[in-house]
Amino acid sequence: MYIVVTGAAGFIGSNLVKALNDRGVTRIIAVDDLKQGDKFVNLVDCEIADYLDKEEFARLVEQGKLAGAVEALMHQGACSDTTERDGRYMLEVNYRYSVRLLGFCRSERVPLIYASSAAVYGPNTHCRESGELEQPLNVYGYSKMLFDRYVRSRWEEQSAQVVGLRYFNVYGPREQHKGRMASVAWHFYNQYKSSGRVRLFEGSHGYADGEQRRDFVSVEDCVKVNLYFLDHRDRSGIFNVGTGRAQPFNDVAVAVVNSLAREQGKPPRTLAELVAAGCVEYIPFPADLAGKYQAFTQADLGALRGAGYADSFLSVEEGVARYCAQLDARSR
């Protein structure tokens, strides 16, 4: 029996494969689309039993070639580009493909743990797993909402565990291939290393410069939540995965700069000191993000805690410092 991880060469998927390896699990079928070939580096230090292209995997599923071979399916694969405007492509990749995999899991009676997104909430600042609070601002968020609703409408048809995880703003190792869609922590780290300063948006949506707030969550915590549900297969539902604390982008910038300064033996500085020194600067809010930007997100963790997940989450200060140290170690 195998654990299947889709999006296995991607950000969260590759971290999940590595975490399974750390448990001694190597009977893993890694599924991904490697048109972006440089993602392979995320799997170099991982042990897998086989690799399948995403379409080849779907064909084998539909032909019944994997009947009885899968223990659990951890579906992390998706188009996560929030600026993608091709709705047909987005719905095919994020919705129709997920529907096919749900059908397989239902027929095989195996768990499905899949990636959803906080993008389903759009401008709604009350981020609770409830249909009336879902107001996506882009087709990416809509594709994720649509599959969540498909799952909800068929709860009575499920034959095994089904878990949807609504990730908030995830950062951490193995995201370098994402380019402009990588986390702000990754961008700030690279900006500061190359130019000695980081750039944030000026004030918008009623917030001061750099004070727009998101729930920034470490990929380490996202993986822990995935493994929790893998270990507790009697628990199903759709759950937020964030820290439950909204923090301003300024906090991420300060954490990045001070983490790098610490490596150089320099004392930490406040935001005001960093701004005065030119280490933090603010740029105009992009016109093309007007009406499409989440200025505040904060996960309501009531459902997750109700499902028994009790572990604490890393704060921006803790998680970003750890991430910067990992990035520094890789660059040496």
Q: Establish whether 140 is a catalytic residue.
A: yes
| Sign of torsion over alpha carbons 273, 277, 279, 284 | positive
| Sign of torsion over alpha carbons 174, 178, 179, 182 | negative
Catalytic pick among 18, 54, 178, 224: 178
Whether the CB-CB separation of 69 and 2 falls below 8 Å is answered with yes
Residues whose CB is less than 8 angstroms from the CB of residue 104 and which lie 6 or more positions away in sequence, other chains included: 61, 62, 66, 70, 73
| Residue type present at position 180 | R
Task: Return the structure tokens found at 130.
Answer: 């409830």
Q: Establish whether 150 is a catalytic residue.
A: no
Helix, strand, or coil here: 305? helix
Helix, strand, or coil here: 52? strand
Helix (H), strand (E) at residue 237: strand 237-241
Q: Radius of gyration over alpha carbons of the chain, in Å?
A: 20
Task: Return the structure tokens found at 95.
Answer: 């919705």
Catalytic pick among 140, 142, 171, 189: 140
Q: Which of the residues are catalytic? A: 140, 178
